[in-house]
Amino acid sequence: MKQEINPQDTNRAMAFELWMKSPMPMVTLTKTFDVTRLYRVSRRRGLKFNMLLCWCIGRAASKMKEFYILPQNGKLYKYDRMAINVIVDNIKGGLSFCDIAVSDNLEQFNADYLHMTETVRQSCQDILDEEAVIVGTSALTRTELDCIVNQYSGIFTNPFLAWGRYRKGWLKTTLPISFQFHHAQMDGGHATHFLEQLQKIINMVE
């Protein structure tokens, strides 16, 4: 559920005042992750690499209260659930979007991921969850990328992660991931903590 809250009743009151009026309120951090474990689990279990990464992102984000508060249109909203947005190449050659509910259960998330991405691919109709806070993702896997910077306009205020093709080495597979967030939602310390937690969760995937 989504509900408007008073920024003055939260620990983001000062940040809200400072950054809601900023013409460029978004911040982007990029970290190179060790995704060796994800790569091996993907190959061993026949699971999509990007699905596994989205699952890890959801698990890391869902443990932080900052992700459940989002500035939109000059107001602050609180949510009680979360979904991961996935961009899909549809059969008409365009892009479609689906919001997949975050779950601690990998089998459930995988089933939802496969069903929803195939549904929007075939139907070319977005499946969006207006009542969940959305963590956006974009996988541009046709080439290796060092960093991705999205719009800085503040029109789209939800946190957003993007990456290119992973880099396979002899002993390690790595992947730079860009993380963009609205400064009224969280500070750099929160963002770096999230990135550290994401690496820990990646390391524990079985």
N residues, the chain: 206
- 32 close to 176: Cβ distance less than 8 angstroms: yes
135 occurs within a structural domain = yes
Strands of 75-79's sheet, edge to edge? 2-5, 75-79, 69-72
Average pLDDT value for residue range 172-197: 97
- Confidence class of residue 124 from pLDDT cuts 50, 70 and 90? very high
Whether 76 is in a domain gets the answer yes
Q: Is residue 5 domain-resident?
A: no
- Total count of domains within the chain: 1
Q: pLDDT value at position 24?
A: 85
Mean pLDDT over residues 100-128, rounded?
Answer: 98
Contacts of 149 (CB under 8 A, 6+ apart): 28, 178, 180
Answer whether residue 16 is part of any domain: no
* Residue 186 counted as domain residue: yes
- Position 110 pLDDT exceeds 80: yes
CATH number for the domain harbouring residue 61: 3.30.559.10
Q: Which domain holds residue 181?
A: 25-204
The CA distance from 197 to 202, in Å, is 9
**Residue entry with tokens 């396979």:** 168
For residue 29, being part of any structural domain is answered with: yes
Q: What is the pTM of this model?
A: 0.96
pLDDT at residue 59 tops 70: yes
Q: What percent of the chain has pLDDT over 70?
A: 99
User: Binning pLDDT at 50, 70 and 90, where does residue 188 land?
Assistant: very high
Q: Tell me if 17 is assigned to some domain.
A: no
Q: What's the confidence (pLDDT) of residue 155?
A: 72
At 153 the pLDDT is 67
Q: What confidence score (pLDDT) does residue 70 get?
A: 96
Q: What is the mean pLDDT of residues 13-37?
A: 93
For residue 53, what pLDDT is reported? Answer: 98
- What's the whole-number mean pLDDT along residues 116-142? 97
User: What pLDDT was estimated at residue 150?
Assistant: 83
Domain membership of residue 12 (yes or no) is no
pLDDT of residue 62: 98
